[in-house]
Amino acid sequence: MTDEPTDPNDKLIRTKMRWAEEGRGLTGERSSPARDRLPPGQRLVTDQPVLDLGNRPQVATRDWTFTVGGSVETPITWDWNSFMAQPQVSTVTDIHCVTTWSRYDTAWDGVTSRHLLDVVRPKPSAKAVMLRCYDGYTTNVTLDDFAAEGVIVAHALDGYPLPREHGGPVRVVVPHLYFWKSAKWVRHIEVMDEDKPGYWEARGYHMRGDPWTEERYE
């Protein structure tokens, strides 16, 4: 499987690349989650918009596999039963999309990133992860951000199995960064000794993506 999406939704992709060139949504403001719940330039919504590259893979739980490798002491391969046998948590987070919408109090169930990292034991040289997905999408996250409190490998949304359009059966949720970092349809996490750009990062989007400092684009 290639790591480059087939880009069936070329119009959307070109539009979002133009947003990066134009700096769409940037206000020049700075904030902090301790002071302001809604980051600069964001608007509150009550639903959860669906954004992707136009290719929504259909992956049944019986066929789903999840691997973690790279710069780790103990690579893993989990099927659905192995994943569900891990310690499960429920968490409620706000989410913030680079397209300027935010949604409060979104409930997720799944496995914490900290548990995952405890299992695979990243090597001392590890600095970042690359999230690789069944649709070919990729995005990078520093190891510190991936290990942050609240980061979850989720299989349920608002009390129900994660719908296909929202990344089911499993997606990663990194709530303190813009939502393009919360990769849908995750299949593999590569632990890396060097931070490298993923799909949108190679197309003008910020390497980190902090909503409170408006790290939308490079």
CB 148 within 8 A of CB 114: no
Does 75 score more than 80 pLDDT?
Answer: yes
* Residue 171: predicted pLDDT: 98
- Secondary structure letter of residue 197 according to DSSP: -
Whole-number mean pLDDT of the chain?
91
In terms of C-beta density within 10 A (0-12 exposed, 13-18 middle, 19 or more buried), how is residue 30 classed?
A: exposed
| Domain 10-213 CATH assignment equals 2.30.30.30 | no
| Whole-structure pTM value | 0.87
Q: What CA–CA distance (Å, rounded) separates 197 from 200? A: 8
pLDDT in tens, 143-152: 999 999 999 9
* Residue 56: predicted pLDDT: 82
pLDDT in tens, 51-72: 767 778 999 999 999 999 999 9
Confidence label for 114 from pLDDT (cuts 50, 70 and 90)? very high
How much of the chain exceeds pLDDT 90, in percent?
77
Write out the DSSP string of 121-174: -B-TT--EEEEEETTS-EEEEEHHHHTSTT-EEEEEETTEEPPGGGTTT-EEE-
Confidence label for 1 from pLDDT (cuts 50, 70 and 90)? very low
**Minimum mean pLDDT among 45-54, 58-67, 114-123, 200-209: which range?**
45-54
* Residue 2: predicted pLDDT: 43
pLDDT in tens, 15-35: 777 767 767 677 777 777 767
Domain boundaries, the chain: 10-213
Does 172 score more than 50 pLDDT?
Answer: yes
